[in-house]
Structure 1
């Protein structure tokens, strides 16, 4: 399968050629192929241009002064582990290639050195530059993939810990309300099944949409049983996208976990109100409100935990506005609003 690469995805080329009009000729040949170029003289502020992070450096033999080699060496030393900057060295035919190669390999050990003897055919030179721009693109893609994998591992680890904490809480809540082992086993199994049903509702929905009422109800149901509602929910029937349902369910999970550990659900009489409403001012907007009461006195933490960061980031991305999180003394609160169109088409809203 062919890969289509847009110009904006590719890096740019820094050309360092102090003699005659070499820099202008090199830059012109590259720009003809829509390659972004910045051409500088050896006596100009090279450090300033290197700070802009060129993807490729093209340097002529005449520019290889000790000062220039040293500045480029410092720049390369600051590169991340994934980065192997291609450097094209354009040499005269009479240049001592072996000596120059040894010197530069010792000075620039983390660079991809490519030596060419002048005059070099423009087509050959441009093709070599384009090939190495693609190499740089692949390097960045590998970097992004590794970083994303690292984030996913951290997120998975956090999710597993929170799920285990929830399972433990469900067990303790169930144990307090049962009088026999059979009742404990039955009630605990039912609550775990309800927790599992959230994944069924969100990830295995028949289409690309899911009921917000179902998502919220299945998320909180493990904590409400035997006619006792620790988490009270209310709101109009809304059909949301699977992605929006997933985000809301995961944010609810974080809020519930936090309430179990530190907030209203850590106390026997603590309760939570989770209410969503729709307002028409300025177009349909969805409001989500999480309000805790009856828990221990609330104090704002000295540092922001992963759960709070996730709720801020996830809700902010979903609704286009950062949620208002308040550590009120009488109970933690979280409120977020955003255009209804960001999570579901208008036609899927049913007023109640």
Structure 2
């Protein structure tokens, strides 16, 4: 009961903060885009709080994972507020770095320059965060020789184009499907599908997890850009 009361109290405080922020933005005459972005972010935060509570098997598990999930969303929101869009490479590399997985060492990233709209970027960041956390706790990142290859491509055959992203862990000892559907599985199998129209395939291979995500690059999701449009730090020039 205490845990349920605590979650309910958090939800009430979050909704109250959301209402105050909307009122302040309206009074300040903030642009529609900013207000819309705030609504999307707050809705996602509410969903994360609720699903984290529903899928956690203990208060300790809930507290341990919630902060990382909220941070993943917040980092993308800051970048989106600055640039309007977020570089897919940056989303992935930032999440890996939070888990001390460095590109060129334990991680290899490769794919065209893709900019994601704020909501799509937050969802992808949350998915990558869950993949990283799972690899640390159960997969390849828990082993000295473990690593990950993340590669993505865009098929331009359809009007919008379809992005295919493959997360492939290497050097692992092999893991099986989880005994229960936790928060990470819900993000991968439900949230991405509902919000982005994504199709997700999970394969539990001998050396680690392979996760393949496909979704259309519609205007509200993102688009491919010329490599020269980016500065060295991966953000728009």
Q: TM-score range by the shorter chain?
A: 0.5 to 0.7
TM-score of the superposed pair, with normalisation by structure 1: 0.43
Note if contact 1:313-1:322 (Cα within 8 Å) is conserved in structure 2: no
Equivalent residue of 1:289, what SS?
Answer: strand
Match of 2:180 in 1: 303
CA RMSD, aligned part only? 3.2
C-alpha change, 1:334 and 1:241, in structure 2 (3 Å) is same
Note if contact 1:298-1:332 (Cα within 8 Å) is conserved in structure 2: yes
2:124 to 248, 254, 273: 248
C-alpha change, 1:343 and 1:229, in structure 2 (3 Å) is farther
| Structure 1: runs of 5 or more not aligned | 1-147, 167-194
2:65 to 162, 169, 173: 162
Q: Give the Cα separation in 2 of the matches to 1:281 and 1:313.
A: 26
Q: Give the Cα separation in 2 of the matches to 1:318 and 1:150.
A: 15
Alignment of 1:126-165 (within 5 A): 152-155=48-51, 160-162=63-65
1:312 is displaced (CA, Å) by 1.2
Cα displacement string for residues 149-187 of structure 1 (whole angstroms, at most 9, x for unaligned residues): 9855334556742267x7xxxxxxxxxxxxxxxxxxxxx
1:340 to 217, 220, 230: 217
Note if contact 2:168-2:209 (Cα within 8 Å) is conserved in structure 1: yes
C-alpha change, 1:309 and 1:198, in structure 2 (3 Å) is closer
C-alpha change, 1:286 and 1:351, in structure 2 (3 Å) is farther
2:151 to 267, 270, 275: 275
Q: Give the Cα separation in 2 of the matches to 1:306 and 1:204.
A: 25
The more displaced of 256-265 and 206-215 is 206-215
1:216 is displaced (CA, Å) by 1.5
Alignment of 1:256-271 (within 5 A): 256-271=132-147
Note if contact 1:277-1:286 (Cα within 8 Å) is conserved in structure 2: yes
1:315 to 192, 203, 215: 192
C-alpha change, 1:307 and 1:350, in structure 2 (3 Å) is same
**Relative contact order higher in (CA < 8 Å, ≥ 6 apart):** 2
Cα displacement string for residues 245-294 of structure 1 (whole angstroms, at most 9, x for unaligned residues): 10000000000011111111111101111111111223411011111111
Alignment of 1:1-352 (within 5 A): 152-155=48-51, 160-162=63-65, 199-205=74-80, 206-222=82-98, 223-225=100-102, 229-283=105-159, 284-341=161-218, 343-344=220-221, 346=223, 348-350=224-226
Q: Give the Cα separation in 2 of the matches to 1:150 and 1:350.
A: 36
Note if contact 1:202-1:215 (Cα within 8 Å) is conserved in structure 2: no
| Structure 2: runs of 5 or more not aligned | 1-43, 57-61, 229-237
TM-score of the superposed pair, with normalisation by structure 2: 0.62
Q: Give the Cα separation in 2 of the matches to 1:325 and 1:258.
A: 13
Note if contact 1:201-1:214 (Cα within 8 Å) is conserved in structure 2: no
1:232 is displaced (CA, Å) by 1.9
Q: Give the Cα separation in 2 of the matches to 1:326 and 1:243.
A: 27
Q: Give the Cα separation in 2 of the matches to 1:280 and 1:151.
A: 33
| Number of residues of Structure 1 aligned to a counterpart in Structure 2 | 174
C-alpha change, 1:236 and 1:160, in structure 2 (3 Å) is farther
